[in-house]
Amino acid sequence: MAELVNSTPPLMPSPSQAAEELAVSPWKEGWKSFKKNKAAVIGLGIVVFFILLAIFADLIAPHPFDKQHLSDKHLSPSAAHWFGTDEFGRDILSRIIFGARLSLGVGFLSVAGSVVAGSFLGIIAGYYGKWVDTIISRFFDILLAFPSILLAIAVVSVLGPSLRNALIAIAIINVPTFGRLLRSRVLSVKEEEYITAAKAIGMKDGRILLHHILPNSLAPIIVQGTLAIATAIIEAAALGFLGMGAQAPAPEWGKMLADSKDFIIEAPWTVIFPGLSIMLTVLGFNLMGDGLRDALDPRMKK
């Protein structure tokens, strides 16, 4: 009896602390799961490596990317030029380092534009439904009816060949992907009890969308966005290879491949290193995206 009298119940967390734990724990749990995925950590390391190259390109690059030495054209890899030189005697390593800025910049900016536009249209379509949903969904279907690279070529043909227009084209072709993702997410989330309660107390639609529906849709957006960056880098390289993206003397990796395609036998290093840069960057984003999907998607957890 004395033990029962003297014993004190454990302290219960305050409502604010409990709410904070509930809000933070899924992301902490996802990060722990992500770190256990070795392939995802390797992908993150590759992505961070290329991001650092892009940020500190001015300090890392051994030569100016556009400096020509015609007497040094097609030099094989050596201590002076680790990746060799191209047909104008430019250092390929320096051009690849500066090219990371262009390729990653196109990837991040185009996906950011796609996320903003696609998420806005998808949330509006899923939340309001009826004729709004019909019009927006048919718009998505029209864009998805075209092969992505052909649609990008059509957009660039209208706007004119340049890296900026290639970025716009890539953003446009990825809008339906995020729009349909958010639409399906909103259709399920808006039926939850807390959304019904928010409507019952008179909360406005804009606040419901921004404070309840959108935060609960961030996980699939992050996963899809990471994978979309890899796709955007490939599409930018494809447009550059076709001469519809970055223009000379910009050191964009796809453009470097296009300029070196006639020298594959004579100077294979001019093709190998830009191609490896594209492959490694895309591989890094794909591995990281798969790891994020496994960590953030409850259906993937055992």
Query: Residue 233's closest CA among 113, 101, 116?
Result: 101
Contact residues for 214 (Cβ-Cβ < 8 A; gap 6+): 119, 123
Name the residue ranges covered by the structural domains of the chain.
34-63+76-300
Report the pLDDT value the prediction gives residue 219, as an integer from 0 to 100. Answer: 78
Rounded to whole angstroms, the Cα distance separating 118 from 191 reads 21
> Is 1.20.58.220 the CATH classification of the domain at 34-63+76-300?
no
User: Contact at 8 Å (CB) between 172 and 155?
Assistant: yes
In this structure, what token pair is assigned to residue 70?
């015609």
Rounded to whole angstroms, the Cα distance separating 98 from 84 reads 16
User: Contact at 8 Å (CB) between 92 and 273?
Assistant: yes
Q: Is the pLDDT of residue 15 over 50?
A: no
Report the pLDDT value the prediction gives residue 298, as an integer from 0 to 100. Answer: 54
pLDDT tens figures, 250-272? 888 888 888 888 888 888 888 88
Q: Is the pLDDT of residue 7 over 50?
A: no
Higher pLDDT, 70 or 104: 104
Bridge partner residues of 85 (DSSP): 91
Q: Is the pLDDT of residue 52 over 70?
A: yes
